[in-house]
Amino acid sequence: MAYFSRLTDIVTCNLTRLLEEADDPQAALQEIIHEMETGLAGARRSMTTAEANETRIQSEVDEHAEQISHWADQARSEVAAGHEDRARLALVRKREAEDLVASLKEELAAAQETREHLTRTFRALEARLAEARRREGGLDTGDSASSGERATAASSQVDDSIEDELAALKRELGQQ
């Protein structure tokens, strides 16, 4: 039985209600965890693609910004040399590069928004999966060793940013 049709279903699901409605909560929970893991893998791929897209667009912006500078310098040189027609041509090319950069910056902003949204969704999926795994450990009464192993694995997945945030809080409070 498929529990989720979209990633947002995972984020917004009521795990307790799903398990209460299941004939076999343990089997249902294992299936839910499997679906969450699959969704998380897909979200990770989407997030990675969005990050690569953002990086690519930023590179294009940087490249065309260099062209703007080049054409401005070229126009300046042509004016200094008394070549107004060549200076005009350089300024036209500079304007074209500026228009392209403006368009790319809009695209970059959209790519950044997409990456941020996908990253938030990914983190929410991770949280839901962690909750489901904790519940699996709570429902699994006969295998304390494997639930301990799961707890250790979950704690090792703590994001470095949490440690950084904890260190910042300690510094803020004057602790070390």
pLDDT tens, residue by residue, 124-133: 899 989 999 9
Say if residue 157's pLDDT is above 60.
no
Query: Alpha-carbon distance 167 to 22, whole Å?
Result: 43
**48-54: which pairs have CB atoms within 8 A and are 24 or more residues apart?**
50/111, 50/114, 50/115, 50/118, 51/115, 53/111, 53/114, 53/115, 54/108, 54/111, 54/112, 54/114, 54/115
pLDDT in tens, 93-105: 999 999 999 999 9
Residue 143 pLDDT exceeds 80? no
pLDDT at position 156 over 70: no
The type of residue at 56 is R
Could you give the percent of the chain with pLDDT greater than 90? 51
Give me the percent of the chain exceeding a pLDDT of 70: 82
pLDDT tens per residue across span 66-93: 999 999 999 999 999 999 999 999 999 9
pLDDT band at 163 (very low <50, low <70, confident <90, very high): confident
